[in-house]
Structure 1
Amino acid sequence: MKTKLITLLLTLACFVNYAEAQSLDMLKRKAASKAKQETTRAIRKTVGAGVPKSVELGSIPATLEEFDAKYNVIAMTPEGAIAMFLAAMDIYARNEELGAKCFGLCFHPENRNGDLPNNHFLSFMRSRFHYGDGQPWIARSYFEGAKPDNGYTPKEPLTLKMKSRANDDDYLTSMDADVEKRWLQSSGADSERAVQVLRVRGEELYYIFEYGGLPSQVRKPRR
């Protein structure tokens, strides 16, 4: 009985120490995040905030191999990772199987289900693009030159513009990563839509963290 009590007390002590360590780690991360957030806001107020940045996608990849190769080149910036996510969305609207695999590459390996996004994400995208009143033109509506009047036909090479805002927050994740927010305007919507990407510290590529309203419906094309 005494041995069991000692074991229980030791287990409880280990649990308390672990919980305290986790809490301390979270407090440190919150403090670091707050400091980074204040610095980032100060920079955005003087440099770049509200000024659209352009990223050239060129064309939509035709195969998974092409998608992977292009992702590894342009997803070194937040804008590039977002452009690739929209490319995956356009592919998915036309080819569900290939698009799902391309979507998988847009998420960090720790946030995937094997090589694919999680089931909730795929279920949402399936309902958006392959059930009922699907809108295969959503992704194209963000690219330069696309508008309802021309059937959302973008200019070539495909170019995307987006911007940050001075009051955008920094976000904590369960990963040791920096998160960036960008705002995009669809020509078929009335207001800008936000998307967040993350880059794990020590890594080169950005990945989708929160896709927000990007897949939301837009006005139907007029032709």
Structure 2
Amino acid sequence: MGLFDMFAGKAANQLGNAVKQTVQSAGNKTEKIVFGNLPESYEQFTALPQASLSTPFQTAAMTVLAFCFYPKDSELCYRMIDFLRGPRPMNGSDKSFIADRFRDKDYVPRSYFAGATPSNDYQPVAPYTISVSENRYSYDEQGIAKLFIKSGGADDPRPIKLRKAKDGKWYLWEYSSILLGIRQPESSNPWA
């Protein structure tokens, strides 16, 4: 191998790595959805700008917000989730699944707000911000967006699926992963 062959190989290798990094970062967008104030009623919830559900990022963040109401008022939470599900309302099995996930873990949805960590018992601060990300595989299924929400109590972001309807809105399709267990708040963890 000649001197120039070695440089050509190295340049090709560097170009290959640059192309690989570009492909891997394609579609790796993160949106920060910010709520200045948290709603106190269904009417305030549906009046939020993000309630237009015009992007899958908005619907994902609105889902987290709706689940935050469960510990205080489960029926209000279910009503909000039905709004986010659009033409596919919840059934008894869906409600039972949610109730099961909230047994002794009312802090899970709060963990998705920026600044909410085990050390502060998952207490977010205003403005209430949720980071929602996509990756290069997020739109592999036609009409479905698989996005990821970072939790202060989990090592990896949790997936959530949204589906685009004929009306152009993005509705909640699959959310089970965002309700999975996370690290306990330090105040309730005897080992912390």
Q: Shared fold (TM-score greater than 0.5)? A: yes
Q: CA deviation at 1:59?
A: 2.9
Match of 1:221 among 180, 185, 192: 185
The yes-or-no answer on 1:67 pairing with 2:45 is yes
Q: CA deviation at 1:167?
A: 2.9
Determine if contact 2:60/2:132 at 8 Å carries over to the other structure: no
Q: Report the Cα distance in structure 2 between the residues aligned to 1:45 and 1:166, rounded to whole angstroms.
A: 8
Q: CA deviation at 1:93?
A: 2.2
| Cα RMSD after superposing both structures | 2.1
Aligned equivalent of 1:211: 175
Determine if contact 2:51/2:59 at 8 Å carries over to the other structure: no
Aligned equivalent of 1:191: 156
Determine if contact 1:88/1:99 at 8 Å carries over to the other structure: yes
TM-score (normalizing by structure 1): 0.68
Determine if contact 1:71/1:81 at 8 Å carries over to the other structure: no
The yes-or-no answer on 1:53 pairing with 2:3 is no
The yes-or-no answer on 1:94 pairing with 2:60 is no
Q: Report the Cα distance in structure 1 between the residues aligned to 2:183 and 2:144, rounded to whole angstroms.
A: 30
Q: Report the Cα distance in structure 2 between the residues aligned to 1:72 and 1:161, rounded to whole angstroms.
A: 14
Aligned equivalent of 2:8: none
Aligned equivalent of 1:167: 137
Determine if contact 1:71/1:84 at 8 Å carries over to the other structure: no
Please give the per-residue CA displacement for 1:24-80, whole angstroms capped at 9, x wherever unaligned.
xxxxxxxxxxxxxxxxxxxx9387522322111233311111112226645211111
Q: How do 1:1-223 and structure 2 match up within 5 A?
A: 45=23, 49-70=27-48, 73-109=51-87, 111-112=88-89, 117-129=90-102, 131=103, 134-172=104-142, 178-201=143-166, 203-223=167-187
Judge which range, 134-143 or 48-57, deviates more.
48-57
**Gap runs ≥5 in structure 1:** 1-43, 173-177
Q: CA deviation at 1:155?
A: 2.3
Determine if contact 1:49/1:163 at 8 Å carries over to the other structure: no
What is the aligned residue count? Answer: 166
Determine what percentage of the aligned residue pairs are the same residue. Answer: 26
Q: Report the Cα distance in structure 2 between the residues aligned to 1:60 and 1:48, rounded to whole angstroms.
A: 33
Q: Report the Cα distance in structure 2 between the residues aligned to 1:47 and 1:82, rounded to whole angstroms.
A: 21
Q: 1:137 to 1:51 in 2, by over 3 A?
A: same
TM-score (normalizing by structure 2): 0.78
Q: CA deviation at 1:181?
A: 1.2
Q: Report the Cα distance in structure 2 between the residues aligned to 1:80 and 1:162, rounded to whole angstroms.
A: 9
Q: CA deviation at 1:92?
A: 1.2
More helix as a share of residues: 1
Q: Amino acid of the residue matched to residue 82 of structure 1?
A: A
Q: CA deviation at 1:221?
A: 0.8
